Amino acid sequence: MSNTVRIHHFAKSGHSHRALVFAKLAGIAHEAVPVDLGAGAHKSHEFLAMNPDGQVPVLEDGDVIVSDSNAILVYLARTYAPDWMPSDAVGEAHVQRWLTLAAGEIAFGSCAARLITVFGAPLDPEFAAATAEKAMQKLEHGLTGCDWLVGGRPTIADVASYSYTAHAPEGNVSLEPYPNVRAWLARFEALPGFEAMPTTAVGLVAA
């Protein structure tokens, strides 16, 4: 472990935003290291030595290297911000459920829909929209009568689920049918230390 962790990121990556916003919210000393994807920096020998998959984000903490955004959240919470990860088995299981949603239906839903509109990814917009709806419905149900996804306080479950949900309209996924989700997003954005991911004027937020 080191005094300052390094987070290799790309500004318009929701996966990167998870790691960065968590470090900010949890007050973890960190250095944000931009990775120029357009110039192929993620395919350089130096970067591939850290993450052979050639993807952002990547966390460096001394000799420890962690890739995958959800894995980074778990590592940072366990190492530096235990209040963001329940210590009991039931609470941790509930967090894992939402991490699975973030890596599954959120990734193949609102994330994929946004990849199509922002980056021109050759993905199926109808499948992405349908998958996004499933994820939104699970979030909406999970937030019924609750301010946060697990245990009545912010956890990494909220962090993992936030970025691509907040930016879903960029992928033509409306948040209007989901009042619990919209209220939760507002609560998340009101947390001390929050910093937004840059908005792209595409989809439902096109100028």
> Which CATH number characterizes residue 108's domain?
1.20.1050.10
Using an 8 Å Cβ cutoff, are 92 and 86 in contact? Answer: yes
Strand locations in the chain, DSSP E?
A: 5-9, 30-34, 58-61, 64-67
34-73 per-position pLDDT tens digit:
987 777 768 888 878 887 877 899 999 999 999 999 999 9
Q: Encoding tokens for residue 124?
A: 């199926």
Whether residue 176 sits in one domain with residue 106: yes
Whether residue 117 sits in one domain with residue 69: no
Q: Which are the contacts of 170, defined by CB distance < 8 A and separation ≥ 6?
A: 114, 117, 118, 199, 200, 202, 203, 204, 205
Q: Which of 78, 74, 66, 79 is nearest to 159 (CA)?
A: 74
Number of folded domains in the chain? 2
85-134 per-position pLDDT tens digit:
999 999 999 999 999 999 999 999 999 999 999 999 999 999 999 999 99
What pLDDT does residue 25 have? Answer: 98
Model confidence at 76, pLDDT cuts 50, 70, 90, reads: very high
Whether residue 71 sits in one domain with residue 109: no
Whether residue 194 sits in one domain with residue 102: yes
Whether residue 105 sits in one domain with residue 75: no
Residue 135 has pLDDT above 70, yes or no: yes
Q: Which of 57, 69, 68, 70 is nearest to 31 (CA)?
A: 57
What pLDDT does residue 41 have? Answer: 66
> What distance in Å separates the CA atoms of residue 26 and residue 79, rounded to the nearest whole number?
11
Arithmetic mean of pLDDT over the chain: 94
Residue 2 has pLDDT above 70, yes or no: no
193-202 per-position pLDDT tens digit:
999 999 999 9
- Residues of the chain with pLDDT > 90, as a percent, come to 86
Q: Which are the contacts of 137, defined by CB distance < 8 A and separation ≥ 6?
A: 178
Whether residue 192 sits in one domain with residue 98: yes
Q: What is the dihedral of CA 69, 72, 74, 75, to 10 degrees?
A: 170
Q: Which of 173, 165, 175 is nearest to 197 (CA)?
A: 165
What is the H or E stretch that residue 164 is in? helix 156-166
What pLDDT does residue 36 have? Answer: 75
Whether residue 171 sits in one domain with residue 147: yes
Whether residue 193 sits in one domain with residue 91: yes
Using an 8 Å Cβ cutoff, are 162 and 107 in contact? Answer: no
Q: Encoding tokens for residue 129?
A: 């929209």
Token look-up 């996804």 returns: 149
> What distance in Å separates the CA atoms of residue 71 and residue 75, rounded to the nearest whole number?
6
Supply the DSSP symbol for 83. G
CATH of the domain at 17: 3.40.30.10
Residue 77, domain extent: 5-83
Whether residue 38 sits in one domain with residue 137: no
